[in-house]
Structure 1
Amino acid sequence: MLASNHKRILRNTAMLYMRMLLAMAVGLYTSRVVLEVLGIEDFGTYHVVAGFVALLGFMQGAMTTATQRYFAFDLGQNEGSNLRSLFNTSLQIHALMAMCIALLAETAGYWFVSTQLTIPPDRLDAALTAYHLSIAAFAVSVMTVPLTAMLMANERMGLFALMSMTDVLLKLVAVLLLSYLASDKLSTYAALLLGVALISFSGYLLINHTLFPAVRLQWGWDGERFRSMLGFTAWSTWGNLAAAMSGHGNNVLLNIFFGPAVNAGRSIASQANGALNQFVSNVQAAINPQIIKQYAAGQHQQMHELVQKASKYNFFLLLTLAMPVLLYTEQLLGIWLAAPPEYAAVFLRLTIIASLIESLSRPMMTLAQATGKIRLYQTVVGGLLLCNVPLSFLALTIWQKPTLVLWTSIIFEATALFARLIILRRLTGMAVVRYLKLTISRVIMVSSTAGTINYLMVFESASGLTLFLGLLINVTSTIITIYLLGLDNLEKKYLSKITTKSCRKFFNFSTN
Structure 2
Amino acid sequence: MQGKRSNQIVQNTAFLYFRMLLSMGIGLYASRIVLEVLGVEDFGVFNVVGGVVSMLTFLNNSLSSASQRFLTFELGKNNIMELSKVFNISVSIHLAIAGLVVLLAETVGLWFLYHKLSIPPERFDAALWVYHFCVLTAFFGILQAPYIAMIISREEMSLFAYISILETVLRLLIVYLLKVIMFDKLSLYGILTFSVSFFIFLLYWQLCRKRFVETRIKHFIWDRKRYIQILSFSGWVLNGNLAVVGYTQGVNILLNIFFGPAVNAARGIAFQLQNAVNNFSYNFQKAMNPQITKSYASGDMGLMHRLVFVSSKVTFFLTLIPCIPILIETNFFLEKWLGKFPDHTISFVRISVLITIISALSYSMIVSIHSTGTIKKFQLWEANILLMIVPISYFLLKKGGTPEVAYWTTLVLMIIAQSARVVIVSKAIDFKLYTYFNEVILRILLGLPLCLILPYWVFVNMNEGWSRLIILVVVVCISVGLSFYFLVCSKSEQRILNKVGFGFVAKFQALISRYSLNK
TM surpasses 0.5: yes
1:410-425 matches, cutoff 5 A: 410-425=411-426
What is the aligned partner in structure 2 of residue 71 from structure 1? 71
Q: 1:465 aligns with which of 458, 467, 487?
A: 467
Alpha-carbon deviation of 1:455? Answer: 2.1
Alpha-carbon deviation of 1:497? Answer: 4.2
326-335 or 498-507: bigger deviation:
498-507
263-272 or 446-455: bigger deviation:
446-455
What is the aligned partner in structure 1 of residue 212 from structure 2? 212
Root mean square deviation, CA, Å = 1.8
What amino acid is the match of 2:342?
A: P
What is the aligned partner in structure 1 of residue 381 from structure 2? 380
Counterpart check, 1:237 vs 2:238: yes
Alpha-carbon deviation of 1:265? Answer: 1.0
What amino acid is the match of 2:42?
A: D
DSSP-derived class of the 2:88 partner: helix
What is the aligned partner in structure 2 of residue 51 from structure 1? 51
Query: Percentage identity across aligned positions?
Result: 36
What is the aligned partner in structure 2 of residue 225 from structure 1? 226
305-314 or 210-219: bigger deviation:
210-219
What is the aligned partner in structure 2 of residue 483 from structure 1? 485
Distance 1:204 1:346, change over 3 A: same
DSSP-derived class of the 2:216 partner: coil
Instruction: Indicate conservation of the 8 Å contact 1:324/1:475, yes or no.
Output: no
Q: 2:400, 2:450 → 1: CA distance?
A: 34
1:259-338 matches, cutoff 5 A: 259-338=260-339
What amino acid is the match of 2:187?
A: S
Per-residue CA distance 1:256-299 (angstroms, 9 max, x = gap)? 11111111111111111211221222111111111111111111
Instruction: Indicate conservation of the 8 Å contact 1:170/1:196, yes or no.
Output: yes
Q: 1:507, 1:236 → 2: CA distance?
A: 45
Q: 2:3, 2:396 → 1: CA distance?
A: 48
Instruction: Indicate conservation of the 8 Å contact 1:87/1:214, yes or no.
Output: yes
What is the aligned partner in structure 2 of residue 103 from structure 1? 103
Distance 1:242 1:43, change over 3 A: same
Q: 1:427, 1:473 → 2: CA distance?
A: 40
What is the aligned partner in structure 1 of residue 22 from structure 2? 22
Q: 2:507, 2:235 → 1: CA distance?
A: 49
Instruction: Indicate conservation of the 8 Å contact 2:58/2:242, yes or no.
Output: yes
Q: 1:193, 1:507 → 2: CA distance?
A: 42
Instruction: Indicate conservation of the 8 Å contact 1:314/1:360, yes or no.
Output: yes
Consecutive unaligned residues of structure 1, counting only runs of 5 or more, are none
What is the aligned partner in structure 2 of residue 343 from structure 1? 344
Consecutive unaligned residues of structure 2, counting only runs of 5 or more, are none
DSSP-derived class of the 2:436 partner: helix
What amino acid is the match of 1:446?
A: G
Distance 1:12 1:505, change over 3 A: closer
Alpha-carbon deviation of 1:481? Answer: 2.6
Distance 1:466 1:371, change over 3 A: closer
What is the aligned partner in structure 2 of residue 368 from structure 1? 369
Q: 2:254, 2:235 → 1: CA distance?
A: 27
DSSP-derived class of the 2:202 partner: helix
What is the aligned partner in structure 1 of residue 179 from structure 2? 179
Q: 2:103, 2:260 → 1: CA distance?
A: 27
What amino acid is the match of 1:466?
A: R
Aligned residues: 512
What is the aligned partner in structure 2 of residue 36 from structure 1? 36
What is the aligned partner in structure 1 of residue 116 from structure 2? 116
Q: 2:194, 2:361 → 1: CA distance?
A: 34
Per-residue CA distance 1:6-43 (angstroms, 9 max, x = gap)? 21111111111111111111111110110011000000
Distance 1:501 1:205, change over 3 A: closer
Q: 1:462, 1:471 → 2: CA distance?
A: 14
Alpha-carbon deviation of 1:68? Answer: 0.5
What amino acid is the match of 1:30?
A: A
What is the aligned partner in structure 1 of residue 91 from structure 2? 91
Q: 2:336, 2:378 → 1: CA distance?
A: 42
Per-residue CA distance 1:480-509 (angstroms, 9 max, x = gap)? 233332222232333344445545665676
Alpha-carbon deviation of 1:67? Answer: 0.4
Per-residue CA distance 1:384-415 (angstroms, 9 max, x = gap)? 11011111111112242111111111111111
Q: 1:8, 1:80 → 2: CA distance?
A: 21
Q: 2:116, 2:96 → 1: CA distance?
A: 28
Per-residue CA distance 1:350-405 (angstroms, 9 max, x = gap)? 11111111111101100111111111111111111101111111111224211111
TM-score of the superposition, structure 2-length normalised?
0.95
TM-score of the superposition, structure 1-length normalised?
0.96
Distance 1:501 1:7, change over 3 A: closer
What is the aligned partner in structure 1 of residue 139 from structure 2? 139
What is the aligned partner in structure 2 of residue 155 from structure 1? 155
Q: 1:235, 1:501 → 2: CA distance?
A: 42
Alpha-carbon deviation of 1:462? Answer: 1.0
Alpha-carbon deviation of 1:227? Answer: 1.3
Distance 1:268 1:70, change over 3 A: same
